[in-house]
């Protein structure tokens, strides 16, 4: 936001102005009229509305005062709903001596002016529009169009308003099956909470809020325009049960001035934020160093200019950044989406306007690029918007062009502004902010469950925890190397120090080696193949640096709520932020990186159980199972222990029995653990000598197409697998 010295002086006048005089005192009326006009010029609409309301009480039939109060409410950040009755009355009262709607001689600064300007009909149309009274909106828009010169600065906006009401009728007549819910009072307060930013794994939510901080440090530092604390950035984490925890205020928030959320990198360790910079508006980035965020640094290249840069989004591979700017060069008009790409030297390229297919002569805002790197969500006043900004999405074609944007429809989009929409990695849930009726505050954050056809395709997310020994910290040297076995390319991912969480995006149809290392020593390694199926899938893998007893409480299902094993600090809010620090290796690092030859050679045996639909048990009499148990028992007798890796998978055929496919996968994993313990104990061997080294559960395979009997298609993704060494 932008503040001028004049605005500060006007605020001082508000506190120093003389007591209210008699209603008939023209000097008092004129002084207040002038003061309210100046406040409007400085965009202090809430403060101006207070004065217009006071003056209107002395002259209720004054068309000009009704207009100015209605316009101030309409232009305020939080009182639009109050504007309609005043604009209605102003329009009804507006006339000149001849009875026409000619506005010759209207002077907005003349305190004796009782007539309203022609703009009242445009704003009345907008007010009707926002209230879903589309027929009345069209009448008001047309009245403005007919009564004014086509060169009037609002003429095209009024024409556009009628186009949008037509769009709204079509979209609202065919609402989509969206299930929209408030995120809840843990996240939302009675003030504005907005611009959600979600980590790739869906377990960390960064957002902007105007609340008083927990330590009340900003309680007396108020934004004069809004009368609220300045915008600050907060983060909340989900616990292991998926419940959002109490939000934390980030350490980079300034004492005063605005800092707002934009986007977070897939590694969870780079946060992109907006700073108002005295009205210039620029995009910054901050790095997570240990548990603190670094001082935000202005992004390079020509991302930031003297124009207004408001929002942005980075691709999951970190090589493309999409952002909003109202610069004139290369613009389609208004605010547009621009793109820069990472050059071989690591710097950003020059910015290019994204596409005339996406950008319009109107404003675009709030871009979000899905982790698949192809689906771009954004908001626009153009295209077939039903009013203000609507949320759209477009897909990148193989040749780099973009498909025609599609409106996400009603009831997600409304006649008011709908911006800052993001989705989870699977594309099945979106988060957005809205000031819709029924919220907890002026703006709240909501989530929407999206139709199954919007599920992401061609994306595999590897995520999980690297868990230290109970009571110990994660060694700073912990690192995951992921090797593409077909090309030999190695990427490294450093888990977040706080809780050992990591995430990686893995292209399909490839075999990878995963090598988890501490102090350059392998603690766990295995090969995985990412299926070529086009559907979204997650690989959830937990690695124990110090293997725990398979018979103990730290099993795959019984992890403590809110905290992975080994993290015991009292009062700490922990959760699964997508924190895998990915980077391409330098030549020197490549020389030191692990060379993967026979990574699975250390495992003595492997057992795999293929399941029918909804099945999860292992037959203790199965011959191959008993061979596997023979090997396990032999290792315990020889070495005094046996390390176990358990992997389970479910297909995407829906399961009512287990609720979700994720739950079925975990149940198969837990069942395999239980059957192993039972089998070893039945042989008279101490089952506490079994140690859990890693667990992995997946939901994978092709998108379900209603053909559950097609066992060839889905059956290979329904299994449990155990390995021992």
CATH label of the domain that carries residue 83: 1.25.40.10
Mean pLDDT of the region 639-666: 91
What's the CA gap between 661 and 428, in Å, rounded? 14
CA dihedral 383→388→392→396, nearest 10 degrees, is: 60
Residue-wise pLDDT tens digits, 397-427:
999 999 999 999 999 999 988 889 999 988 8
Q: Which residues, in sequence order, are CB contacts of 15 under 8 Å at separation 6+?
A: none
Query: What percent of the chain lies above the pLDDT cut of 90?
Result: 57
Q: How far is CA 16 from the centre of its chain?
A: 44
pLDDT at 8 over 50: no
Q: What integer pLDDT is reported at residue 96 of this predicted model? A: 53
What's the CA gap between 210 and 228, in Å, rounded? 6
Q: What integer pLDDT is reported at residue 530 of this predicted model? A: 87
Q: Report CA torsion sign: 12, 17, 23, 26.
A: negative
Q: Are the C-beta atoms of 368 and 379 separated by less than 8 Å? A: no
Longest dimension (CA), the chain: 108
What's the CA gap between 135 and 72, in Å, rounded? 24
Q: Are the C-beta atoms of 671 and 721 separated by less than 8 Å? A: no
Q: What integer pLDDT is reported at residue 157 of this predicted model? A: 95
Mean pLDDT of the region 49-68: 96
Residue-wise pLDDT tens digits, 578-593:
333 444 445 554 444 4
Q: Which domain holds residue 530?
A: 457-547+564-598
Q: Which of 486, 477, 483, 423 is nearest to 449 (CA)?
A: 423
Looking at the fold, whether 45 and 13 belong to one and the same domain comes out as yes
Domain boundary among 432, 454, 476: 454
Mean pLDDT of the region 122-127: 97
Looking at the fold, whether 411 and 339 belong to one and the same domain comes out as yes
Q: What integer pLDDT is reported at residue 17 of this predicted model? A: 43
Residue-wise pLDDT tens digits, 213-228:
999 999 899 888 778 8
Domain boundary among 403, 426, 454: 454
**Within-domain flag for 558:** no
Q: Are the C-beta atoms of 103 and 115 separated by less than 8 Å? A: yes
Average pLDDT, the chain: 85
Looking at the fold, whether 513 and 487 belong to one and the same domain comes out as yes
Q: Which of 269, 197, 203 is nearest to 240 (CA)?
A: 203
What's the CA gap between 4 and 92, in Å, rounded? 36
Tokens 């929407």, residue located: 448
**Hey, is 301 helix, strand or coil?**
coil
Looking at the fold, whether 529 and 630 belong to one and the same domain comes out as no
**Within-domain flag for 228:** yes
Q: What integer pLDDT is reported at residue 205 of this predicted model? A: 94
Looking at the fold, whether 201 and 76 belong to one and the same domain comes out as no
Mean pLDDT of the region 259-281: 90
Residue-wise pLDDT tens digits, 425-461:
888 899 998 877 677 877 899 999 988 778 777 788 8
Q: What integer pLDDT is reported at residue 428 of this predicted model? A: 87
Q: In what order do the strands lie in the sheet with 179-182?
A: 179-182, 444-449, 429-434, 422-423
Contacts 24+ apart (CB under 8 A), 227-230: 227/46, 228/191, 228/192, 229/191, 230/254, 230/256, 230/257, 230/258, 230/259
Q: How confident is the model at residue 352 (pLDDT cuts 50, 70, 90)?
A: very high
Q: Report CA torsion sign: 50, 103, 107, 76.
A: positive
**Within-domain flag for 276:** yes
Could you count the other beta carbons within 10 Å of the beta carbon of residue 561?
Answer: 8
Mean pLDDT of the region 152-178: 95
Looking at the fold, whether 166 and 239 belong to one and the same domain comes out as no
> Which CATH number covers residue 643?
3.30.1330.60
> Which CATH number covers residue 508?
2.60.40.1120
Mean pLDDT of the region 356-361: 96
Looking at the fold, whether 148 and 164 belong to one and the same domain comes out as yes
**Within-domain flag for 555:** no
Residue-wise pLDDT tens digits, 468-521:
988 888 998 899 999 999 999 998 888 888 778 888 888 888 999 999 999 999
**Within-domain flag for 347:** yes
Looking at the fold, whether 425 and 518 belong to one and the same domain comes out as no
**Within-domain flag for 645:** yes
Residue-wise pLDDT tens digits, 588-636:
544 444 443 334 447 899 999 999 888 888 999 999 999 999 999 999 9
Q: Phi, psi at residue 682, to the nearest 5°?
A: -65, -25
pLDDT at 166 over 90: yes
Looking at the fold, whether 26 and 65 belong to one and the same domain comes out as yes
| E-only strand ranges, 418-553 | 422-423, 429-434, 444-449, 460-467, 479-484, 490-494, 501-506, 510-518, 521-530, 537-549
**Hey, is 128 helix, strand or coil?**
helix
Q: How confident is the model at residue 534 (pLDDT cuts 50, 70, 90)?
A: low
Q: Which of 178, 176, 183 is nearest to 431 (CA)?
A: 183
Token pair for 201: 């794994």
Q: In terms of pLDDT, which residue wins out, 701 or 578?
A: 701
Q: Which of 417, 418, 446 is nearest to 80 (CA)?
A: 417
**Within-domain flag for 639:** yes
Mean pLDDT of the region 166-193: 93
Q: What integer pLDDT is reported at residue 140 of this predicted model? A: 97
**Hey, is 86 helix, strand or coil?**
helix
Q: Which of 339, 375, 379 is nearest to 355 (CA)?
A: 339
Q: How confident is the model at residue 289 (pLDDT cuts 50, 70, 90)?
A: confident
What's the CA gap between 302 and 323, in Å, rounded? 11
Enter the DSSP assignment of 117: P
Looking at the fold, whether 146 and 233 belong to one and the same domain comes out as no
pLDDT at 1 over 90: no
Q: Which residues, in sequence order, are CB contacts of 50 under 8 Å at separation 6+?
A: none
How many domains are there within the chain? Answer: 4
- Number of H helices and E strands in the chain, helices first, is 12, 35
What's the CA gap between 211 and 437, in Å, rounded? 20
Looking at the fold, whether 373 and 522 belong to one and the same domain comes out as no
Q: What integer pLDDT is reported at residue 25 of this predicted model? A: 66
Q: How confident is the model at residue 283 (pLDDT cuts 50, 70, 90)?
A: very high
Domain boundary among 148, 173, 198: 173
End-to-end CA distance of the chain: 61
Q: What integer pLDDT is reported at residue 263 of this predicted model? A: 96
pLDDT at 572 over 80: no
Q: Phi, psi at residue 280, to the nearest 5°?
A: -70, -45
Looking at the fold, whether 515 and 448 belong to one and the same domain comes out as no
pLDDT at 364 over 90: yes
Q: What integer pLDDT is reported at residue 191 of this predicted model? A: 84
Q: Are the C-beta atoms of 492 and 484 separated by less than 8 Å? A: no
**Within-domain flag for 88:** yes
């Amino acid at each position: 936001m932008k503040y001028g010295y004049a605005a500060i002086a006007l605020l001082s006048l508000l506190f120093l102005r003389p007591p209210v005089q008699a209603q008939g005192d023209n000097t008092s009326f004129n002084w207040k009229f002038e003061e309210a006009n100046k406040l409007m010029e400085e965009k202090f609409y809430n403060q101006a509305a207070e004065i217009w309301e006071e003056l209107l009480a002395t002259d209720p039939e004054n068309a000009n005062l009704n207009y100015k109060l209605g316009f101030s409410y309409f232009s305020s950040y939080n009182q639009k709903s109050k504007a309609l009755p005043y604009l209605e009355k102003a329009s009804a009262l507006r006339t000149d001596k001849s009875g026409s709607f000619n506005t010759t001689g209207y002077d907005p600064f003349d305190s004796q002016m009782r007539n309203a300007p022609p703009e009242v009909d445009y704003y009345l149309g907008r007010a009707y529009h926002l209230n879903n009274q589309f027929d009345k909106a069209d009448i008001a828009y047309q009245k403005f169009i007919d009564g004014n010169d086509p060169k009037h600065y609002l003429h095209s906006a009024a024409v556009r308003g009628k186009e949008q009401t037509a769009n709204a009728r079509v979209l609202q007549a065919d609402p989509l099956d969206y299930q929209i819910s408030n995120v809840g009072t843990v996240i939302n307060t009675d003030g504005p909470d907005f611009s959600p930013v979600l980590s790739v794994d869906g377990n960390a939510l960064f957002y902007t809020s105007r609340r008083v901080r927990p330590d009340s440090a900003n309680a007396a530092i108020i934004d004069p325009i809004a009368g609220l604390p300045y915008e600050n950035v907060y983060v909340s984490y989900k616990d292991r049960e998926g419940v959002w925890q109490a939000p934390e205020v980030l350490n980079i928030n300034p004492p005063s001035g605005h800092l707002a959320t934009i986007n977070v990198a897939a590694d969870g360790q780079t946060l992109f934020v907006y700073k108002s910079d005295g009205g210039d508006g620029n995009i910054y980035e901050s790095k997570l160093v240990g548990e603190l965020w670094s001082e935000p640094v202005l992004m390079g290249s020509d991302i930031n200019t003297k124009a207004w840069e408001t929002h942005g989004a980075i691709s999951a591979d970190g090589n493309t950044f999409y952002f909003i700017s109202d610069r004139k060069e290369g613009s389609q008009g208004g605010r547009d989406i621009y793109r820069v790409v990472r050059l071989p030297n690591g710097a950003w390229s020059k910015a290019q306007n994204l596409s005339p297919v996406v950008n319009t002569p109107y404003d675009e805002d709030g871009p979000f690029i899905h982790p698949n790197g192809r689906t771009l969500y954004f908001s626009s006043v153009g295209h077939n918007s039903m009013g203000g900004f609507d949320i759209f999405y477009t897909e990148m074609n193989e040749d780099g062009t973009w498909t025609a944007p599609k409106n996400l429809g009603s009831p997600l989009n409304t006649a008011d502004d709908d911006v800052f929409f993001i989705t989870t990695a699977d594309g099945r849930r979106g988060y957005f902010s809205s000031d819709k009726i029924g919220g907890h505050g002026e703006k709240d954050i909501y989530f929407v469950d999206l139709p199954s056809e919007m599920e992401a395709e061609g994306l595999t997310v590897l995520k999980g925890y690297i868990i230290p020994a109970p009571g110990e910290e994660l060694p700073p040297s912990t690192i995951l190397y992921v090797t593409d076995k077909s090309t030999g390319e190695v990427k490294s991912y450093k888990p977040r120090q706080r809780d050992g969480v990591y995430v990686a995006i893995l292209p399909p149809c490839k075999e990878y080696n995963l090598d988890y290392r501490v102090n350059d020593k392998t603690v766990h390694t295995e090969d995985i193949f990412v299926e070529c199926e086009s559907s979204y899938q997650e690989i959830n893998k937990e690695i124990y640096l110090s293997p725990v007893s398979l018979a103990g409480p730290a099993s795959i299902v019984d992890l403590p709520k809110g905290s992975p094993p080994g993290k015991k600090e009292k009062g700490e809010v922990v959760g699964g932020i997508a924190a895998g620090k990915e980077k391409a290796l330098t030549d020197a690092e490549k020389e030191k990186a692990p060379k993967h030859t026979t990574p699975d050679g250390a495992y003595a045996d492997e057992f795999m159980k293929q399941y029918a639909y909804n099945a999860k048990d292992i037959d203790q009499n199965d011959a191959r199972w008993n061979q596997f148990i023979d090997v396990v028992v032999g290792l315990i007798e020889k070495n005094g222990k046996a390390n176990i890796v358990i992997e389970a998978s479910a297909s995407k055929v829906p399961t009512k029995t287990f609720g979700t496919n994720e739950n079925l996968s975990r149940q198969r994993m837990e069942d395999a653990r239980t059957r192993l313990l039972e089998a070893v104990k039945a042989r008279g061997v101490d089952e506490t000598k079994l140690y859990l080294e890693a667990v992995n559960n997946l939901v994978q395979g092709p998108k379900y197409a209603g053909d559950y009997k097609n066992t060839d298609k889905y059956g290979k993704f329904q299994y449990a697998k155990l390995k021992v060494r």
